[in-house]
């Protein structure tokens, strides 16, 4: 089951379209789009998206391992991905993430920026639909998995939306925020549902909660010591005229930020794995050892909380130092 299947591509347009669409529900997208939103669009929008993303993904991942619905049988289905093949199917967390990110972005910006609401709605729908269809094309989910994921995400969005401002205010101002932002996700990761076999769901969940935790601590620190978010109106009445200078500065912020984020991830991976390897007496390359609870959770959590913290605190300081603010 872990071996790649042979297949013939008959339509390269669909093949590359859905390969790309599938990547919109994976780490490569999260680690670029969410920080880009924070650096170049609006920190308040980014904060709300990260809250929703963390909650939705945790519930989705745990639901998979509680329900234990299998992925589509192969054959007859050809699976074009191997990394997540050991995971259960229902609900599709790609569908959940795509729905949560696209529609939370719409909901967070529609009252702050002047743009045609219909255009935003169509964009959110097309984005989430492409990711959902990619899961069917890649052979990773049934139609029911995808519909279930999108519906669960929609329900969670409806439930979370009325409390957004309250949650955001508490996360920025409560003195207990840094402690709770670290302790609660760690407790959830260490008490993740146990399976009879190894699945990447626990590691992926720890990655997401770790990144969210690091970012939340960063938000709190910025509010305490940099620019408080609640000292004045945070609404921006209209999208500024996009000029070549704005585009150049935005791209510079993005590339500087992504370099720092990726460098942080690689350095922390090596350092944390080295420390855990020394503590538990295993070589860094030992994949089985890295899957153990006492290794996987701290390794993923520390690494990605450092990434979240770096993206929200270190990168903006560097932007200011380089005159990119």
The two structure tokens encoding residue 204: 């992926």
Query: Catalytic pick from 79, 141, 265, 319?
Result: 141
Return d(Cα 62, Cα 44) in angstroms, integer: 28
Q: Answer yes or no: are the C-beta atoms of 32 and 258 closer than 8 Å.
A: yes
Write the burial class of residue 236 (CB in 10 Å: 0-12 exposed, 13-18 middle, 19+ buried): middle
Task: Tell me how crowded residue 79 is: count the other CB atoms within 10 A of its CB.
Answer: 18
Got the DSSP string for 225-244? HS--TTSS-----SPPPP-H
Write down the catalytic residue from 48, 71, 94, 319: 94
Q: Please choose, from the candidates 91, 300, 102, the residue with its C-alpha nearest in 3D space to the C-alpha of residue 209.
A: 300
Whether 319 sits among the annotated catalytic residues: the reply is no
The crossing angle, in degrees rounded to 10, of helices 244-280 and 293-309 is: 150
DSSP at 199: -
Inter-CA distances, 55 with 71, 162, 299, Å: 23, 15, 21
283 Cα distance to chain centroid? 29
Residue 141 annotated among the catalytic residues of the structure: yes
CA-based nearest residue to 141, from 131, 151, 128: 131
The torsion region of residue 139 among left (phi > 0), alpha (psi -120 to 50) and beta comes to: left
Residues 209, 58: contact at Cβ < 8 Å?
A: yes
Catalytic residues: 94, 141
């Amino acid at each position: 089951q872990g071996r790649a299947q042979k297949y013939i591509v008959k339509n390269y347009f669909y093949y590359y379209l859905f390969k790309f669409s599938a990547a919109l529900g994976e780490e490569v997208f999260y680690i670029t789009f969410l920080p880009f939103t924070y650096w170049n669009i609006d920190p308040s929008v980014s904060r709300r998206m990260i809250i929703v993303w963390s909650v939705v993904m945790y519930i989705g991942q745990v639901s998979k391992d509680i329900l234990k619905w299998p992925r589509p049988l192969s054959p007859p289905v050809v699976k074009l991905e191997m990394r997540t093949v050991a995971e259960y199917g229902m609900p599709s967390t790609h569908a959940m993430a795509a729905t949560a990110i696209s529609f939370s972005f719409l909901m967070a910006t529609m009252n702050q920026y002047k743009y045609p609401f219909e255009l935003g709605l169509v964009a959110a729908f097309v984005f989430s639909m492409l990711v959902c269809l990619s899961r069917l094309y890649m052979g990773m989910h049934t139609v029911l998995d995808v519909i279930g994921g999108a519906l669960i995400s929609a329900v969670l969005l409806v439930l979370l939306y009325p409390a957004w401002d309250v949650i955001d205010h508490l996360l920025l101002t409560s003195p207990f925020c840094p402690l709770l932002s670290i302790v609660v996700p760690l407790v959830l990761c260490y008490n993740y549902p146990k399976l009879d076999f190894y699945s990447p769901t626990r590691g992926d969940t720890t990655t997401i909660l770790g990144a969210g935790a690091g970012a939340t601590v960063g938000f709190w620190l910025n509010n305490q010591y940099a620019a408080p978010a609640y000292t004045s109106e945070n609404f921006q009445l209209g999208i500024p005229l996009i000029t070549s200078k704005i585009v150049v500065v935005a791209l510079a912020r993005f590339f500087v930020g992504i370099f720092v984020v990726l460098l942080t991830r690689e350095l922390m991976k090596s350092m944390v794995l080295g420390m855990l390897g020394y503590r538990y007496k295993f070589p860094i390359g030992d994949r089985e050892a890295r899957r153990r609870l006492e290794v996987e959770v701290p390794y993923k959590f520390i690494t990605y909380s450092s990434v979240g913290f770096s993206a929200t605190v270190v990168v903006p300081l560097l932007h200011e130092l380089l005159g990119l603010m």
